[in-house]
Homo-oligomer: A and B are copies of this chain.
C-alpha cells in the first residue's frame, strides 16, 4: 500500500500547541501566577433551558420502545431542514428548499469534506490570515493554493485573485481579523465567481454576531450567489454547541453540486446525533432564541469591553464589531510571537499570535470575545499598569 504523500508531508500546525506549551512553561516557572487566557476561540456560556430540555426529551425518547429511534436520515431530519429554511433563509427573503440543506456534526467536518467534490487539479484561493483548516485541507488534496493577503491598508479586506481561482474559501465575519464585508463588497466576489466559473465555500460560522444592516448574514442575499456558493453554518458559536456538535451546509441545486454532496454524505456519513438535532431545532423556539440572544449579548459586550479597553490603552484594534474577534496590532513593531511573549511575561495575558493564521498575520495578535469577562477586566488593568 502507498500512503497519500500530500497528507504525509503536511507540516504540523502548531499554533495552539505552541501557545499551550509556552503558557504551561510560564506557569511551571511561576506557580502562583494567575494567567489570563484571552486567545481562545471556544464558547463558555451554558446552554439555555429550552435547549437542554429538548435534549433531555430526546434522550428519554430513546429509552422507550414506543419512541425509540435508530438511524435518522443521513442528510438530517426534515423538521430541522425545514426550520433552517424558514428561520435562517425565508425570513431574509432567500428561497431555498429543505433538500438543499444538509445537517452535519459541525462545520469543521463539512469544510474539510466539501473538498472531495472537486478535481484535485483545481486551484484554491484562501485569505491570509485564515482559519488553518482551509490550508491544511487543500494541501492534503495536493491543490495549488493562491493566498490573498488581508492587510491593514485595505482594512483587512482581500482583493480579488489576480489569476483564476477555481475554489475560493471566504469567511465573514472573519476569523481571525473580525473583518466583515458589506453587501456590495461581497457581491464583487459573487460576480468574480460567476465570471470565472469558480465556487465559493462561504464559512458563516460567526453570522450571529452581525448587527450592522449593511452586512449580509448569508451569501445568498447576493443575487446569483446560489449558482456559485456553498454556505457552511454552525450552531457552535451561535448556540454554544461546540460540545453538542451540529451544523449545516447549504448546497443549492443551482450549483449543480447538490446531488453529488448528497451522494457523498449518504456514503460517508450516517447523520448527526438525534439529540443534537433536537437541540438545534430548539434554537428556533421563542425560549431558545431568548436564551441564546442573552448569551450572544454577553459575548458582544465582552468584545466591546476588549475593543474599547485596548483602544484606550493606545493599541490599534480592528474587528470586534459584528464579530467575536479583535485583531490587534503589536506595540513597538514587535512580531506576533515577540508580543505574545511580552504579554505573557509582563502581565500573564495570553493572546493568539496572528502569524499562526498566516504570514500576513505577522505583527498582529487575536483577542477573543469568548474569554472570561473577569479575566478581560483584569487583563486591561494589568495592561494599563505596564
List the interface of chain A (C-beta within 8 A of B): 1-5, 7-8, 10, 12-13, 42-47, 49, 52, 55-56, 59-60, 62-65, 68-72, 105-106, 108-109, 111-113, 116-122, 133, 136-137, 140, 166-167, 197-199, 236, 240, 242-245, 256-257, 260, 263-264, 267-276
Contact = CB atoms under 8 A, between A and B. Distances in A.
A23 to B, nearest CB: 17
B166 A268 contact: no
A109 B112 CA distance: 13
Contacts of A120: 4
A242 B71 contact: yes
B108 A268 contact: yes
A119 B9 CA distance: 13
Given A140-B264, A275-B275, A71 B243 contact: yes
B112 A267 contact: yes
A148 to B, nearest CB: 17
A8 B243 contact: no
B269 A108 contact: yes
A243 B116 CA distance: 26
Nearest to A11: B263
B46 A52 contact: no
Contacts of A1: 118-119, 122, 166-167, 197-199
Nearest to A121: B2
A268 B64 contact: no
Contact of A63 (B47, B106, B273): B47
Given A44-B65, A46-B68, 7 more contacts: A7-B260, A52-B60, A55-B275, A56-B59, A105-B245, A116-B140, A133-B267
A166 B2 CA distance: 8
Rank and list the top 8 A-B pairs by shortest CB-CB distance, nearest first: A112-B268, A108-B270, A42-B70, A243-B274, A2-B119, A70-B242, A1-B166, A245-B273
